[in-house]
Chains A and B, each alone.
Chain A
Amino acid sequence: MRPILLQGHTRPLTQIKYNNEGDLLFTVAKDTVVNVWYSHNGERLGTYEGHQGALWSVDVNSKSTLLITGAADNTARLWDVKTGKQLHVWKTNTAVKRVEFSCDNKHILFVTEKRMGFESEIYVFRIDESGTQSDTPVVVIRPKDSKATVAAWSYFDKYIVAGHEDGSVTLYNWRESDPEKQISKTVKVHQDTITDLQTSKDRSYLITSSKDKTAQLIDIETLDLLKLYQSDTSLNTATIIPDRDYVILGGGQAASEVTTTSSHQGKFESRFYHEVFENEIGRVRGHFGPINTVAVSPVGDSFSTGSEDGYVRVHFFDPDYFKYKFDV
């Protein structure tokens, strides 16, 4: 089916998120605007304006009432989804690289960049859905060996799981205030920086993507490596398709490494792999820059990719996709 091209950003996309019902699509890019779209037709619903720097991350709570964004202007902001009003600003020392609502919508986490003498940190704040927000974090986790690049909540918000620059994944007991007891488990899974970390729908396992050209499926409790997906290019993002046994990986040669203009050799395709058998099933072409972020609608009828080229492409799965079956 013909994809919908969303032209709402002037700079490379950094993250896109569907809301829980899959009808809204939130996109952030290195320009200062947060866009929200109707996912079924690509019509822009509105923007959230206020950030002063490149946006790195976005997340919406499961009721689609509150939106949280993290940006390079050293702030994370809370917005009212419906009105677009800015509800709160958290000031940090460095850029906020990743934000996420907890499962119960009562907490948020954000990961800050390591820069200008400040170490990378993971903050957890309590969110009061009706009233004012607190500026004192519930807990601050300070990764020791390598800076955290991405983080997510596990099922029941039991852990915070973070991916690090050195390719390791760590489970943090965020309810512990003692830094010594916070680390529950660390496993080195990748040879290079972890670029994305997304959880399955029930948050019982997760997928990581890395610059080492692989993506891995990991059990969120034991951190056992379940599956490995080998690609031929450095990966920027990976996601798990709910209800069907596929994963989508995205990436491509970094802009500095691309020598010619033809989109053929850039490897800018979204790649579909079978979740269990680990083999590549197909590719979807279209972008002319590396894919920075990929998201699947929680309903499972479409997926969207955001690229370095500044476009978001919303793809609806063809009927063939739902009919396709593996011989087992």
Chain B
Amino acid sequence: MAVLDPKNLPATEEDIDFSDLEDKYSEEVLEDTLDNVVLIDCLPIVDDKKEAKLSALIKKITKNIGKIRENGIHMPKEKSDGKSLSKGYAFVEFENATQATAVVKELNGYKIDKAHVLAVNLFMDVEKYSKISETFVAPPETNFVTKEHMKYWLLDDQSRDQFCIHHDSDLSLNWNNRGKSVEVITSRNKWTETYFQWSPFGTFLVTLHRQGAALWGGPSFKKIVRFVHLSVKFVEFSPLETYFVTFSSDPISLEAVDKALGSGNEHLNPFTDDDVGNHFCIWEVKTGRLLRSFPFVTKEDGTPVTKFGWPCFKWSASESYFARLTPGSKISIYEAPGMGLVGKKSLSVPNVANFEWRPCDDLNLHDRKNHNALAYWIPEVGNQPGRVSIISVPDMNILRTKNIVSVKDIALHWHPSGEALCARINRFTKTKKSTFTSLEIFRLNEKGIPSDVVEFKDNVVVFAWEPKSSDLKFAAIHVTDPTPPQTNASGMATSAVKSNVSFYHFVRTRTKLTVKEEFTLLKTLDKKNTTSISWSPKGRYIVLSTLRTTTVWGLEFYDTEVETLEGVKVTGPNSVQLLNSVEHYGVTDLEWDPSGRYVSTSASVWRHTMENGYSIWDFKGEQLFKTVVDRFKQFLWRPRPQSLLSEAAKDKIRKNLNTYSVEFDEQDRIMESAASIEQLNLRRRLANEWNSWRKTVNARIEELNKLYSQNNTQSVSVVSGDEEVIEEIIEELLEETVEYV
């Protein structure tokens, strides 16, 4: 490089040698100007005469995509046999780079005629790819890194369950030590920005951030994968944790994502131009790959429907399909992982109000292809009655349909095993002045899918299937006035509504000639304040609770399969019995642990600020643990995957429970004594520390006492405890009267 010689400065500016700088920067200038040049290859070879015609053709086919600059077509030629022939390609200069890119996209592969299919590329791309080295360089081999065991918590030798709590800005993960104490595994500040969630099998902890969602797992709770979706609001897993759906009310913008990722990380941006403006994203959990993004559904006039229920995309039990509703017109069913519409078009169902997939708790789900079905309902429109239909997917056969009149509203409740569907139908009475509820229950595992009706005189507001029992048991809360009570700003009802809770089950009685099948009432508990019913995930036990009211906080634990001491099952109304009735002040949420052994209740600061915290109860309603935590927000048990044991294996364990329990009782005893010894040791240590500290202090006081008494001739009364107390008790008999009655 030429260096300026201070003694011999150039005379004028022109004399300065800028060549080094020009060399350095010229290339970039060139690149800038060539971004709008497109190379069109595989053109017919033409001579001078036909050149104008070909140029006109090029102009014609690009007319609607981009504007060619004046003299923008350059066709290199060569002399051959005295004629000047084109080489079969042309450089075409467009007004700007965007137009050039659009031309490449549209015209690459364009067929002029049979012999000529155009190959259109950006000139700069040709430049770029021609520079790539010919020799193959093997990419560096990456070492195999052992991943952590994602399901490690299931291996706990005491089969404890984990739970995660969210208070203030801290998220902490804990072991539940049989409700007696809580062992913190890890606690992190600002782990999530809004709230957290578990995946359906508990493999992942989901945290939400401004930049997107992150999944954490393994013994060290490392970040497993993250999904970039700015201002993500709602997330949802598919039932087997294969896919992940996110929603953000901010439309996707490439620039915003780039900005959020920071410069140099643009390659991490999962979105392309096709995704711009969309709100929903579907991701693959294992790879973190974006599979597809979706916009809001639109009404017939094209306006987007921004109000929707979550989950918006519902998954079939096998995860092969997912669907979403365009209210009033259609259900769009997509297949996974291809993300294409099944049958290339949405299922048109005029007036459709809602739909639900048939769930399945069978482990061998994948072998049962015909299990994919969904139910939808249509309200009454004009003369047409309302309708509940069950269709199979993907062949869209209607399996069962039922017309219903005087419909106000229908809610669909699938039994968790998928063997029954309950349509909770709110209907008008004949006068249309009041409403009542009838339950239409379809049994899917039987031929023809028969249905039964359970009529209520009043309105069923909450319905819940018992998840495990063989006799299709369910509980329902019914009230006379279905209008929900008034709530305050944070969603707490200001008064407790009187309600009744009823238990039903399916009974089949065979006589010689007939088979009587119907849902019969087991028991009604009336004059309750129950707002919520939660069955144990293992069935049998249920908690009736009054959540989110400002005046009543009752919890009632019931056993619905009472057995006598001899182990004989009680039938009839007496099979439902109260175990315990308790109160958790300010309770807002209730959750069973996945094993059905414990129940957690919590009072969240999201609803009110009084005594926020949580309690752990056993299934009998005995309080085991209670803590008040400032600004407590969320309590969620870590779910467990489905058991791998077959029903037969489970039965065997149940039968031999006595032999197992001896072992566990022994473990309990050892643990309890260990805990108390530990506690005693701690206390002993603290007491010793305190006593030794007191000794040093007493020595100090002694010294000071000497010091001050030397300096001060006057006596100093310091430690009042040393003074002797002289007490004189004088008892005087003042008056004594004796009354004779």
Contacts and interface: CB of A to CB of B under 8 A. Distances in A.
Nearest to B550: A260
Interface string A255-277: 00101100011000000000111
Given A242-B721, A298-B720, A328-B680, A155 B701 contact: yes
B651 interface: no
A176 interface: no
A226 B693 contact: yes
A242 B705 CA distance: 21
B718 interface: yes
A135 interface: no
Given A204-B697, A328-B684, A156 B585 contact: no
Contact of A20 (B611, B716, B720): B720
5 contacts: A155-B701, A155-B704, A243-B721, A260-B610, A328-B680
Contacts of A226: 693
A156 B704 contact: yes
Main secondary structure on chain A at its contact with chain B?
Answer: loop
Interface of B: 550, 585-586, 608-611, 628, 630, 680, 682-684, 686-687, 690, 693, 697, 700-701, 704-705, 708, 716-721
A103 B718 CA distance: 6
A327 interface: yes
A221 B608 CA distance: 44
Contacts of B705: 156
Nearest to A265: B610
Contacts of A20: 720
Nearest to A299: B725
B720 A259 contact: no
A288 B503 CA distance: 43
Given A260-B610, A265-B585, A62 B683 contact: no
B166 to A, nearest CB: 18
Nearest to A103: B718
A158 interface: yes
Contacts of B684: 328
A156 B683 contact: no
Given A204-B700, A276-B690, A327-B680, A155 B718 contact: yes
B686 A276 contact: yes
A178 interface: no
A242 B723 CA distance: 14
B649 to A, nearest CB: 45
A104 B717 CA distance: 6
Interface string A151-166: 0000110100000000
A110 B628 CA distance: 38
A259 to B, nearest CB: 7
A156 B630 contact: no
A129 interface: no
A86 B496 CA distance: 58
A202 B721 contact: yes
Contacts of A205: 697
Interface string A188-216: 00000000000001111100000001000
Contacts of A104: 716-717
A55 B693 CA distance: 38
A310 B661 CA distance: 57
A322 interface: no
Given A201-B719, A202-B719, 12 more contacts: A156-B704, A158-B704, A202-B718, A202-B721, A204-B700, A205-B697, A221-B700, A243-B721, A257-B609, A265-B585, A277-B683, A328-B680
A232 interface: yes
Interface string A88-120: 000000000000000110000000000000000
Contact of B687 (A155, A158, A260, A276): A276
Nearest to B682: A277
Contacts of A277: 682-683, 686
Contact of A326 (B585, B610, B683, B719): B683
B701 A328 contact: no
A298 B610 CA distance: 36
A300 B585 CA distance: 35
Contacts of A103: 716-718
A275 to B, nearest CB: 8
A301 interface: no
A219 interface: yes
A265 B611 contact: yes
What 9 pairs between A and B have smallest CB-CB spacing? Answer: A265-B610, A232-B628, A276-B690, A204-B697, A202-B719, A328-B683, A156-B704, A156-B708, A276-B686
